[in-house]
Structure 1
Amino acid sequence: MNVVIVSDSHGLTAELAQIVSRHRHEADLFIHCGDSELPAEADELAPFVVVRGNCDWKAAFPDERIEEADGVRFFVTHGHLYGVKTSLLRLYYRAKETEANVVCFGHSHLAGAEQINGVLFINPGSIALPRGRKEKTYAVLTIDKDQAFVQFYDVTGHPIPGLAQTFSF
């Protein structure tokens, strides 16, 4: 299973369309972790499971979503309601409440992945305004049996060296 995860696109449309076009034949699920700043009916968001970010004032997206694919439970939120810039603790507790295997979130614009007590947390960074690095990033999660592989890409589709990680699942 392949899952494309983006966040914090802040009004970008061409970039979202390019990411979908690039991965449409391999992705089983597209996730947008909020701050799209686009209307809910925007064509560029149609392939995505989308949540509301702190900058999504007009669109009627939910604050969080639970999606299941191939037996994997995803908890998707933007992160601002869980204080992710300070700690993942509140988000971890919510993941446990929802029995999520994978948590996808944004808000901090910092690309990264880590596993805490069996729960995989993925922040794809930002395809508009990255922090902590120059590349505008998104992530692709590949799950095969008991392995989860997270690869980060720049907005043009080039893998970012040193950010890929494999986790036991």
Structure 2
Amino acid sequence: MYKLLVISDTHNDIEAVERIVGREQDIHGILHLGDTVEDLHAASIPSGIDIHCVHGNCDASTGEKKITLTVHDVRVYATHGDLYGVKSSLDLLHSHVKEHDAAIGFFGHTHAPVCKKKDGVELYNPGTVTKGEYIIATFENGSYVIEFKELGCGA
């Protein structure tokens, strides 16, 4: 089993990143979907956790804008979303996820949680860490479970 914390749009809210990581102590990896990915370097993250990042429109232009991962035999496509116009439509992103033979497409940028399933492809946006929103994706033996979570008050 592999637990992946999926976050996006942290926008310098390092305290929220640390609270989420502290709450989800059994994670194996973190996927940051852009907009101040350097927050992961500033936050206290326990050693041994895999870190994956894509850069968003508020990050340095030198980083990766999209990546593909395989987690327990599940192919995952990750991007910030600004390159695909996700604020107006998910169609272009859906096409790219499908072209990369991925079962899941994770994206950010809109600051709003999204779950959309179409033609064997699932698109997920965790929302924004600035509102305490994130996803825990649990992978095992070619299957997965996606959980939307929130920090809430005092968490």
| Alpha-carbon contact 2:112-2:127 (below 8 Å) kept | yes
Matches within 5 A, 1:1-169: 1-25=2-26, 27-36=27-36, 38=38, 41-42=41-42, 47-57=50-60, 60-128=62-130, 135-143=131-139, 148-156=144-152
TM-score w.r.t. the length of structure 2 is: 0.82
- CA spacing shift, 1:101–1:55, aligned 2, 3 Å: same
> What are structure 1's unaligned runs of at least 5 residues?
129-134, 159-169
* TM-score normalised by L of structure 1: 0.76
Tell me which stretches of 4 or more aligned residues in structure 1 moved more than 3 Å: 39-47, 143-149
**CA–CA distance in structure 2, aligned partners of residues 146 and 73 of structure 1:** 9
Alpha-carbon distance, 1:30 to partner: 1.5
Q: What are structure 2's unaligned runs of at least 5 residues? A: none
Report the alpha carbon displacement of residue 60 of structure 1 after superposing the two structures with TM.
Answer: 3.5
Q: Percent identity?
A: 29
Q: Cα distance 1:40–1:70, how it changes in 2: closer, same or farther (>3 A)?
A: same
Task: Give the aligned length.
Answer: 151
Match of 1:166 in 2: none
- For the Cα contact (< 8 Å) 1:78–1:105, is it kept in 2? yes
Tell whether the 8 Å contact from 2:68 to 2:78 is kept in structure 1 after alignment: yes
Amino acid in structure 2 at the alignment position of 1:111: P
Deviations 1:129-158 (A, max 9, x none): xxxxxx531111234567643222223599
CA RMSD of aligned residues (A): 2.7
